[in-house]
Amino acid sequence: MRLYDSYTKELREFQPQKPPYVYLYVCGLTPYDYAHIGHARTYVAFDVLKRYLLYKGYNVIHIQNITDIDDKLIKRAKELGEDPVELAHRFHKIAEQNFRDLNILPPDKYTKVSDHIPEIEKLIEGLMEKGHAYKTPTGIYFHVPSFERYGKLSGQSLEELSKHRIEPDPTKKHPADFALWKYTDDYTWESKLGKGRPGWHIECSAMALKHAPVLDIHGGARDLIFPHHENEIAQSECYTGRKFANFWMHTGFLTVDGVKMSKSLGNFITIKEALEKYHPMALRLLFISAKYSSPIDYSEDKVKQAHESYLKLKRAYQHLLKLPTEYRKDKENDAYYRERRQAFFDALEEDLDTPRALAELYQLASWILSKEKLDFHTHALLKQFFHEVSFILGLEIMPDYERTLDKVVKELLDLREEFRKKKEYVISDLIRERLQKAGIEVLDSKEGSDYKVME
pLDDT in tens, 23-40: 999 999 999 999 999 999
Q: What is the structure's pLDDT at 176? A: 92
Same domain, 363 and 429: no
Same domain, 426 and 322: no
Same domain, 353 and 406: no
* Model confidence at 407: pLDDT above 90: no
Distance CA 68, CA 83 (A): 10
Q: Which of 393, 417, 438 is the last residue of a domain?
A: 393
pLDDT in tens, 37-76: 999 999 999 999 999 999 999 999 999 999 999 999 999 9
pLDDT in tens, 238-287: 999 999 999 999 999 999 999 999 877 888 999 999 999 999 999 999 99
Number of other CB atoms surrounding residue 146 within 10 Å = 18
* Model confidence at 148: pLDDT above 90: yes
Question: β-strand 133-136 against 254-256: which pairing, if any?
Answer: unpaired
Question: How far is residue 398 from each of residues 39, 119, 307, 358, 383, measured CA to CA in Å?
Answer: 26, 45, 15, 17, 10
Distance CA 317, CA 310 (A): 11
Looking at residue 114, what DSSP letter applies? G
Average pLDDT, the chain: 94
Peptide bond into 227 cis (omega under 30): yes
Looking at residue 279, what DSSP letter applies? -
Same domain, 418 and 355: no
Closest CA to 344 of 399, 284, 302, 288: 288
Torsion of CA 224, 229, 232, 234, to 10 degrees: -140
Closest CA to 326 of 368, 372, 375: 375
Mean pLDDT in residue range 372-378: 95
pLDDT in tens, 421-451: 999 999 999 999 999 999 999 999 877 888 9
Same domain, 305 and 217: no
Q: What is the structure's pLDDT at 454? A: 83
* DSSP helix, strand, coil percent of the chain (3-state; round to 5): 50, 20, 30
279: left (phi over 0), alpha (psi -120 to 50) or beta: beta
Same domain, 212 and 139: yes
Mean pLDDT in residue range 304-333: 95
Q: Which of 251, 267, 285 is the last residue of a domain?
A: 251
Q: Which of 251, 268, 287 is the last residue of a domain?
A: 251
Q: What is the structure's pLDDT at 405? A: 81
Same domain, 263 and 324: yes
Q: What is the structure's pLDDT at 167? A: 61
Distance in Å from the first CA to the final CA of the chain: 45
Same domain, 62 and 123: yes
Asked if 53 and 398 touch (Cβ cutoff 8 Å), the reply is no
Asked if 327 and 373 touch (Cβ cutoff 8 Å), the reply is no
Sign of CA dihedral 127, 129, 130, 133: positive
Question: β-strand 178-183 against 196-198: which pairing, if any?
Answer: antiparallel
Range of the domain at 423: 401-453
Asked if 201 and 133 touch (Cβ cutoff 8 Å), the reply is no
Distance CA 146, CA 149 (A): 9
CATH number where 118 lies: 3.40.50.620
Asked if 377 and 329 touch (Cβ cutoff 8 Å), the reply is yes
Same domain, 427 and 338: no
Asked if 379 and 323 touch (Cβ cutoff 8 Å), the reply is yes
Q: What is the structure's pLDDT at 186? A: 84
Closest CA to 382 of 403, 401, 361, 396: 361
Counting every residue, how long is the chain?
455
* Model confidence at 164: pLDDT above 70: no
pLDDT in tens, 321-344: 999 998 888 999 999 999 999 999
pLDDT in tens, 215-236: 999 999 999 999 999 999 999 9
Distance CA 324, CA 378 (A): 12
Same domain, 315 and 195: no
Number of folded domains in the chain? Answer: 3
Mean pLDDT in residue range 137-148: 97
Same domain, 147 and 270: no
Asked if 294 and 253 touch (Cβ cutoff 8 Å), the reply is no
* Model confidence at 165: pLDDT above 80: no
pLDDT in tens, 349-370: 999 999 999 999 999 999 999 9
Query: How far, rounded to the nearest angstrom, does the alpha carbon of residue 295 sit from its chain's CA centroid?
Result: 16
pLDDT tier at 415, thresholds 50, 70, 90? very high
Distance CA 245, CA 107 (A): 18
Asked if 392 and 345 touch (Cβ cutoff 8 Å), the reply is no
Question: How far is residue 46 from each of residues 39, 169, 275, 361, measured CA to CA in Å?
Answer: 11, 37, 20, 20
Same domain, 328 and 424: no
163-177, 210-224, 283-297, 323-337: range with lowest mean pLDDT: 163-177
Share of the chain above pLDDT 90, in %: 86
Helix (H, G, I), strand (E, B) or coil at 276: helix
Mean pLDDT in residue range 144-153: 96
